[in-house]
Amino acid sequence: MSAPIHFFECTPPDLRAAVESVGLPGYVAKQLLEWVYRHGVTDLEAMTNLSGDTRDRIRGIMQFHRGVEVVAQRATDGTRKSLIEWDHPAGGLPLFDDPAARDRRTETVMIPADRRRTACVSSQVGCPVGCRFCASGLGGLDRNLTAGQIVEQVHHLQAQPGAERITNIVFMGMGEPLANARAVFDAVRILNAPWAYGIGARRITISTVGLPAAIRKLDALEVPVTLALSLHAPNDALRRELIPWAEYSTVEELLEACSEWFDRTGREITLEYILLGGVNDRPEHARELVDIAGTMRANVNLIRYNEVDGLPFRRPMDADVRAFQNVLRNGGVNSHIRASRGRDIAAACGQLRHESADGQAGPSC
């Protein structure tokens, strides 16, 4: 007997073929899509327009959840974080000291802001990049997530009590999205599809530390998403101290690849820049960043470093952050200071990980 298919991995033709393979009419696939994506229902017993026999046949071929939410947390600012354990043993309890369980876990975050509800999703368990200031890569890479597991994260966020519909997606959780490009691209197509969540291309952002060849993989993605380059330093020497993968390409090569994406899509590039107190937040760094941003159509997101236990970096002073932004703006660069959301539950940028030292959902986005 073949393994059950994962609902969130499926397109309408996939679902139609699956239900027809067990003797059900093709329109059952449409009913399933409406229950899950329009009503948020994944419990077959609650799908009242399906007969008992139909539900039994579907149950034999289809799996709605591959992940179990083992911890949910809510910050004082409304940010919600879910620790999801993938391929969780049926009926089993989460074992926080079990290494085999840790390499199955990811964190995903919902960030509320005005009318937006942004899902910060993970693409990998762990991260291969190993940025010196980020919690997600402390244990290296354990595995890639499938497209269905990426999409399922959005369902888990929307299934929380009181949750509102997700309006935006950012691939800024655990992992390097372009190191798992095929699954990420398939997930983007599903998230964007009108039969699924219908999230517009302009509301989907893929963030990458960047290798030029990986950025050019975006040519295979027909959805013109927003590209965010995690730059974090204005020159190669400092960037290589902070980001191990920076050894493989120069800032100039990355900017060239990003400019090509702009030429093809007309979509302005976002340069993400985490400000590390006393490391990359000096006026001279800002002046170098002005020169970089001036070479392309880009805006700069400035992000205050969020503390991670055991790492030597510190959060910058507010005065230094404002001075840095003023240099950019005086140089004609469109820049914004991103608010740190969810810090009190370690859900802010650079803090997502498998678990924390006390065994609870711990430190991306």
- With beta carbons less than 8 A apart as the criterion, state whether 79 and 109 touch: yes
Q: Which of 69, 85, 107, 307 is catalytic?
A: 107
| Alpha-carbon span 362 to 106, nearest angstrom | 10
Torsion over CA: 175, 181, 183, 189 (sign):
positive
Q: How many residues does the chain have?
A: 365
| Alpha-carbon span 171 to 108, nearest angstrom | 10
Of the candidates 101, 98, 121, the residue with the CA atom closest to the CA atom of residue 111: 121
Q: Which of 152, 349, 355, 365 is catalytic?
A: 349
What DSSP string describes 214-252? HHHGGGG--S-PEEEEE--SSSHHHHHHH-GGGGGS-HH
| Alpha-carbon span 157 to 148, nearest angstrom | 15
What does the block give as tokens for 287?
A: 């002046």
| Alpha-carbon span 73 to 54, nearest angstrom | 36
Does residue 258 carry a catalytic annotation?
A: no
What does the block give as tokens for 177?
A: 């999205």
Does residue 256 carry a catalytic annotation?
A: no
Active site residues: 107, 349
